[in-house]
Amino acid sequence: MKLKSCEVLEKNLADLIIEVSAEEFESAMNDAFKRSRNSISVPGFRKGKAPRKIVERMYGASVFHNEALDIIMPEVLTFAVKESELRIVDFPQLKDVDIKEGDSEVGAEILISVPLYPEVKLGEYKGLTAVKPEVQVPDEEVDIEVESVRQRNARIEAVDRAAILGDIAVIDYEGFVDGEAFEGGKAENYELTLGSNAFIPGFEDGLLGMEAGQERDVNLTFPEGYTDQLSGKQAVFKVKLNELKEKLLPDLDDEFAKDVSEFDTLDEYRADIRERMLSEKQKESDAAFESVLLEQIVQSMEAEIPEALIDKQFETSMKNFAQQMSAYGIEPEVYLRMINTDPEAFSYNMRQQSEKQVSVLLALEKISELEKIEITKEEIDKEYNEISTRYDMELDKVMESIVEEDVTHDLKLRRASAIVVENAIAETEKKPAAKEKKKTEKKPAAETKEDEPAIEEDVKPKPKKTTAAKKTAETKSESSVEETQEPKPKKPAAKKTAKADAGKTNEGDETK
Q: State how far the Cα of 146 lies from the Cα of 141, in Å rounded to an integer.
A: 9
Q: Please indicate, yes or no, whether residues 371 and 474 belong to a single structural domain of this protein.
A: yes
Q: Which domain holds residue 240?
A: 155-248
The predicted pLDDT at position 90 comes to: 81
421 within domain boundaries = yes
* Nearest Cα residue to 201 out of 179, 218, 180: 218
How many angstroms separate the CA atoms of 311 and 90, rounded?
A: 10
Q: Which of 489, 144, 494 is nearest to 326 (CA)?
A: 494
CB-based burial of residue 175 (10 Å sphere; 0-12 exposed, 13-18 middle, 19+ buried)? buried
Q: Contact, 114 vs 13, CB < 8 A?
A: yes
Residue 361 domain-assigned (yes or no)? yes
CB 173 within 8 A of CB 203: no
**Do 330 and 413 belong together in one domain?**
yes
CA 498 to chain centre: 13
Amino acid (one-letter) located at 392: D
Among residues 248, 275, 291, the one where a domain terminates is 248
Going residue by residue through the chain (512 aa), what tens digit of pLDDT does each one get? 999 989 888 778 889 999 999 899 989 988 998 888 888 888 888 887 888 888 888 888 788 888 999 999 999 988 988 888 888 888 888 899 988 877 778 889 999 998 888 999 999 999 999 999 889 999 999 999 999 999 999 999 999 999 999 999 999 999 999 999 998 899 999 999 999 998 999 999 999 999 999 999 999 999 988 888 888 999 999 999 999 999 999 999 999 999 999 999 999 999 999 999 999 999 999 999 999 999 999 999 999 888 888 999 999 999 999 999 998 888 888 888 888 888 999 999 999 999 999 999 999 999 999 999 999 999 999 999 999 999 999 999 999 999 999 999 999 999 999 999 999 999 987 655 444 444 444 333 333 333 333 333 333 444 333 333 333 333 333 433 344 444 555 443 333 333 333 333 333 333 33
Distance (Å) of CA 136 to CA 144, 274, 290: 15, 9, 19
| Statement to judge: residues 347 and 434 lie in one domain | yes
220 and 89, same domain (yes or no): no
Strand partners, 116: 88
Contacts of 199 (CB under 8 A, 6+ apart): 192, 461, 462, 463
The answer, as to whether pTM is greater than 0.85, is no
The tally of domains found in the chain comes to 3
- Give domain status of residue 223, yes or no: yes
For residue 53, the surrounding DSSP H or E stretch is helix 52-59
Q: Is 388 a domain residue?
A: yes
Domain annotation covers residue 278 = no
- Same structural domain for residues 106 and 162? no
CB 7 within 8 A of CB 15: yes
Amino acid at 49: K
Write the DSSP assignment of 398-422 as a string of letters.
Answer: HHHHS-HHHHHHHHHHHHHHHHHHH
Asked if residue 505 lies in contact with residue 467, where contact means CB atoms within 8 angstroms, the answer is no
Point out the domain boundary residue: 92, 115, 138: 115
Buried b (16+ CB within 10 A) or exposed e, 185-213: bbbeebbbebeeebbbeebbebbeebebe
- Residue 211, CB half-sphere, CA atoms under 13 Å: how many? 3
CA distance 459 to 185: 6
State CA 479 to chain mean position distance.
7
In a domain, residue 139? The reply is no
Domain boundary among 64, 94, 115: 115
pLDDT (0 to 100) of residue 476: 37
Q: Are residues 110 and 159 in the same domain?
A: no
Contact 293, 360 (CB under 8 A): no
413 and 339 in a common domain: yes
**In-domain check, residue 49:** yes
Both 179 and 99 in a single domain?
no
Residues 164, 101, single domain; the answer is: no
CA 456 from centroid of its chain's CA atoms:
24
| 258 in a structural domain | no
Alpha-carbon span 450 to 453, nearest angstrom: 8
Residues 6+ apart with CB under 8 A from 400: none
Q: Are residues 319 and 391 in the same domain?
A: yes
- Read off the CATH number of the domain in which 224 is found: 3.10.50.40
Whether 316 and 172 share a structural domain? no
CATH code for the domain in which residue 66 is found = 3.30.70.1050
| Cα(434)–Cα(438) distance, integer angstroms | 6
Same domain assignment for residues 72 and 190: no
